[in-house]
Amino acid sequence: MAEFQGKTQALHRPDRQAGRQTVTDFAELWWKQRQGHRPSTRIRDRQALDRDVLPFFGAAQLGRLDRADVQEWVDQLAERMAPATVRRTFTVMDQLLRSAVDRGVIGITPATGVRLPRLVRHEGRFLTPAELERLADSIDPRYRAMVLVMAWATLRIGEAAGLRRVDQELEVGTIRIANNAVQVRGRVLEGPPKTKAGRRSMTLPDSIVSELRDHLVRQPGMTYVFGPSGERPLYASDFRRLSWRPAVRAADLEPLRPHDLKHTGVISPAHMPLRDMSYVA
């Protein structure tokens, strides 16, 4: 098919000639008109398309695909990927095939009824105030305040990486969560949190405000709060590898993810909000 038609043709008989085009040819046309996604999602999905979808399906004719083909592909992905990654990659192929149905290229999507690997739920870890202090004492001093703020303000790693000096209102003890810095394929992409609920202000205890003030005095640069340089956002992969994992081992808290600090700030093991507990810096 030379170009997409603007009208939906799902209720019409599929175009046999159009169905003879390869998955690669259709995918490139579909990709050019795919809209409504964040830059980080678009980069991730393009990577899945190039790395996992097109090498398997690329030369196949759209009209000749069946569910067994898609199931075989999913089963192969499951041999080398985590269940959540398989599902994200499958979503890209499923969207492509649904677009082909909508445009009358095929009659039904062969992705219907495909069995996906079951997700393994990760049990969140909740630190006690004493464990949190031990972790903060063990980490590179440049990130002590970051660990404490992530826990008490319930921040994701991208929210901490994107936190800017202009987001600080320390005279009243609050910080605004208005910028997210996500690392995708070696690049950091910035933007507002995904949802309105993600854009929020958080109140910090006096002891954490004091830690943050001291950190800002020492932090070089005038744009970002955390990281080796205040002139660019923190690279999460470097933070995990060089600072987080060694500190977690030193504090005898393995296994522990940065995201577990967000869980810690929401609720403690005793089911009491951590931000309501006293903290001794």
Residue type, 206: D
Average pLDDT for the chain: 84
Lowest-confidence pick of 33-37, 159-163, 199-203: 33-37
Name the nearest CA neighbour of 5 among 117, 113, 100, 130.
100
Do 183 and 271 belong together in one domain?
A: yes
Residue 209 belongs to a domain with what CATH number?
1.10.443.10
Name the band, by pLDDT with cuts 50, 70 and 90, for residue 116. Answer: very high
For residue 164, list its beta bridge partners.
224
User: In angstroms, rounded to a whole number, what is the distance separating the alpha carbons of residues 10 and 265?
Assistant: 48
pLDDT at 99 over 90: yes
Digit-coded pLDDT (tens) for 189-213 = 888 877 777 788 999 999 999 999 9
Give the pLDDT confidence score for residue 278 in this predicted structure.
41
pLDDT score recorded for residue 231: 80
Q: Given this model, what pLDDT does residue 279 score? A: 41
One domain for residues 88 and 181: no
pLDDT over 90, % of the chain: 53
Contact criterion met (CB below 8 Å) for 83 and 119:
yes
154: closest CA among 265, 256, 236, 258?
265
Q: What is the mean pLDDT of residues 17-26?
A: 84
Q: Give pLDDT, residue 4.
A: 41
User: Which residues span the domain enclosing 26?
Assistant: 16-102
- pTM equals 0.64
Please report, for the domain that includes residue 28, its CATH number: 1.10.150.130
| pLDDT for 142 beyond 80 | yes
Same domain? 207 vs 269: yes
Determine the number of helices (DSSP H) and then strands (DSSP E) in the chain.
Answer: 13, 5
Q: What integer is the mean pLDDT of 143-154?
A: 94
Which pLDDT score, from 0 to 100, does residue 271 have? 35
How many domains does the chain fold into? 2
Rounded to an integer, the average pLDDT of 64-88 is: 92
Q: What is the structure's pLDDT at 2? A: 38
Please check whether residue 199 lies inside any domain of the structure.
yes
Over 70: is that where the pLDDT of 90 sits? yes
Q: Which pLDDT does position 228 carry in this prediction?
A: 76
